Amino acid sequence: MARRKSSGFLETLLKSAFGVGMKVHYRIDWLGRRQKVVKHHDTGKTKTYTHSDGFLFGGTTTRTSQNGHSIESGRIHKGLFGSVTEHAERDDDTKVERRYRSGLFMDRVTTTEDGDCYGCSGSGQKPVRCRSCDGIGLVDLPAKPCFRCEGRGKIGANACRRCSGSGVFQAERTVTCRRCEGAGEIAVECRRCAGSGKYRRRR
């Protein structure tokens, strides 16, 4: 991997002001390992490449942080014919694989992400508000006209005994919503992962 020139003060200032580009600098950590630090101005993420020449723990490891918190860590493996693959894992257990290929004019990176669907948190179902009760869990049943006196309240000259002369057989009452069973929400299949609870994205 070619050594990239560090960004100067004015270049870094302009990139930070417009929120584009990245700053690259090199340093040595307290264990004497070489580190390459890349800060992306558009996302606010900082990725650190640490190279070690040890026999057992040699190789290059990566760590990505944002706002001072580590969000991803991984290891870079070099293959045959100059191929480079990075296997990383995020703090939400998402597996990330990046394949770096050298092109004629520019390098190409293929990223594959495997993890729990963030739309339903891996459950495959997403709760939505029940429309029948508007999220309350209770519905009001309307009053029904008395079927014996047909809502008149009287049978002949006498008051109807079924509705006591009110003409209403069953007054309005509040009951538990049958559709959501009083929960106020129902579970539907997550459209983002088609109910699988997993996602696989490649770009």
Residue 5 has pLDDT above 50, yes or no: no
pLDDT score, position 168 = 80
Please name which of 177, 178, 172 lies closest in space to residue 139, comparing C-alpha atoms.
177
- Its pTM surpasses 0.85: no
3-state secondary structure 156-195: CCEECCCCCCCCEEECCEEEECCCCCCCCEEEEECCCCCC
Using CB atoms within 10 Å of the CB of residue 19, give its burial: 0 to 12 exposed, 13 to 18 middle, 19+ buried. Answer: exposed
* Domain spans, the chain: 9-116, 125-189
Residue 6 has pLDDT above 60, yes or no: no
Using CB atoms within 10 Å of the CB of residue 165, give its burial: 0 to 12 exposed, 13 to 18 middle, 19+ buried. Answer: middle
